[in-house]
Chain A
Amino acid sequence: DAGITQSPRHKVTETGTPVTLRCHQTENHRYMYWYRQDPGHGLRLIHYSYGVKDTDKGEVSDGYSVSRSKTEDFLLTLESATSSQTSVYFCAISEGGHYSNQPQHFGDGTRLSIL
C-alpha cells in the first residue's frame, strides 16, 4: 500500500467545535485529495491540492477548508462542525492531477462522528 497515514482514525466531537484531520504521505506525490464517504453517495470530493499552497474546491466543499504547507501534509478543517458532517473521510494521493489518468491511492480513513 502507498505510504499514506491519516490521523486521527476515529473522532467524536460536538456540534460547533473545530476539527482538523491530517493526511501525511511519504510518496512525494504532488496531488492530494480529501473525500467524504456516505451511504448511497459513494466518494465525494471535498478539496484537492496540486502543490504546496495550491488547493481548489471539489464537489462538496462548503463548511470545509484545507491547507498544504508541505508536500507531505494535507490538512482538512471543519471550522464549526455540524451533524451533517458526520462521515468517513478519506485522503488520497496520485502522481498525476485530478484531470489525468493516474489512479488514486487512498489512506485508511477517519471516522468522524459529530453529536
Chain B
Amino acid sequence: GQQVMQIPQYQHVQEGEDFTTYCNSSTTLSNIQWYKQRPGGHPVFLIQLVKSGEVKKQKRLTFQFGEAKKNSSLHITATQTTDVGTYFCAGRGNNDMRFGAGTRLTVKP
C-alpha cells in the first residue's frame, strides 16, 4: 500500500539556524499537504501543493513538491523559538491520504 516516509524524525537546532524536513512517497501523489503541531496541541494545516515542481513560500517557510510528485520538503530559514513543534506531511495517492510520522523540531534560544 501507499507509504509516506518522513525524515528526520527529530531535529534540534540553535535559534537562527535553518531547518529542513523531507517527505518521500512510494507512489506518485496527487497532492501533498503540510501540517504543524505545537507541543500539546493539534495539527494545523499550513499549505497544500498540487503541481509538479511547485514551490510555495510563507514568510520564512518554503515548501517544494518534487518533479515526479513523489517527494516534498519544508525548509525554514533562520528558525525562531516559535517554530518549535512537529511538522507532518500528508500525501494523497490513488486512494486515501496518508500522513508521514512527522519531524519534531526543537529550537535552542
Chain A residues close to B by CB (< 8 Å)? 35, 40-45, 58-59, 90, 98-99, 101, 103-109
Contacts and interface: CB of A to CB of B under 8 A. Distances in A.
Contact of A90 (B42, B45, B102): B42
Contacts of A103: 33, 45, 48
A104 B98 CA distance: 12
Given A41-B101, A90-B42, A99 B88 contact: no
B43 A45 contact: no
Nearest to A101: B31
Interface of B: 6, 9, 30-31, 33, 41-45, 48, 50, 88, 90, 92, 95-102
A42 B101 contact: yes
B99 A42 contact: yes
B52 to A, nearest CB: 15
A11 B16 CA distance: 40
Nearest to A6: B42
B88 A59 contact: no
A59 B9 CA distance: 21
B44 A98 contact: no
Given A59-B98, A101-B31, A103-B33, A43 B92 contact: no
